Amino acid sequence: MSAFDSFPLGQPAFVTNVLDRAAHLRRDDEKLFAMERKPTSRAYVVHRDSLLVKHEGEAKRALLSIDEALKCGANPGTIFLGLRDGAAVFGMGMSQAAAEKLVGGQDYALTELRGMAMQGAIAPQELSAVAMAKSMVSWHQRHGFCANCGTRSAMKEGGWKRDCPACKAEHFPRTDPVVIMLVASGEKCLLGRQKQFPPGMYSCLAGFVEAAETIEDAVRREILEESGIRCTDVQYYMTQPWPYPSSLMIGCSARALNEDVVVDHSELEDARWFTREEAALMLTRTHPDGLAGPHPFAIAHHLLGRWVRDKSGA
pLDDT at 2: 61
pLDDT at residue 246 above 50? yes
pLDDT at residue 297 above 70? yes
pLDDT (average), residues 25-36? 95
Nearest to 299 by CA among 232, 204, 235: 204
Could you write out the DSSP letters of every residue in 167-216? Answer: T--EE----EEEEEEEEEETTEEEEEE-TTSPTTB-B-EEEEPPTT--HH
- The mean of the pLDDT values for the chain is 95
pLDDT at residue 312 above 50? no
| Residue 23 amino acid letter | A
pLDDT at residue 284 above 90? yes
pLDDT at 314: 44
Alpha helices in 38-165, H assignment, sequence order: 66-71, 96-101, 113-119, 127-142
Q: What percent of the chain has pLDDT over 90?
A: 91
Question: Binning pLDDT at 50, 70 and 90, where does residue 313 land?
Answer: very low
Nearest to 81 by CA among 10, 26, 118, 39: 26
pLDDT at 30: 95
pLDDT at 311: 73
- Our CA angle for 82, 143, 180, nearest 5°, is 70
pLDDT at 3: 64
pLDDT at 177: 98
Beta strand extents in 209-282 (DSSP E only): 231-242, 247-256, 270-275
- Considering only 78-92, 104-118, 243-257, 285-299, which range has the smallest mean pLDDT? 104-118
Tens digit of each residue's pLDDT (9 = 90 or more) over 50-90: 999 999 988 899 999 999 999 999 998 789 999 999 999 99
Tens digit of each residue's pLDDT (9 = 90 or more) over 212-243: 999 999 999 999 999 999 999 999 999 999 99
Q: Say if residues 251 and 180 touch (Cβ distance below 8 Å).
A: yes
pLDDT (average), residues 19-45? 96
Distance of CA 61 to the CA centre of its chain: 20
Tens digit of each residue's pLDDT (9 = 90 or more) over 9-22: 999 999 999 999 99
pLDDT (average), residues 193-208? 97
pLDDT at 58: 86
pLDDT at residue 310 above 50? yes
pLDDT at residue 174 above 90? yes
pLDDT (average), residues 253-259? 98
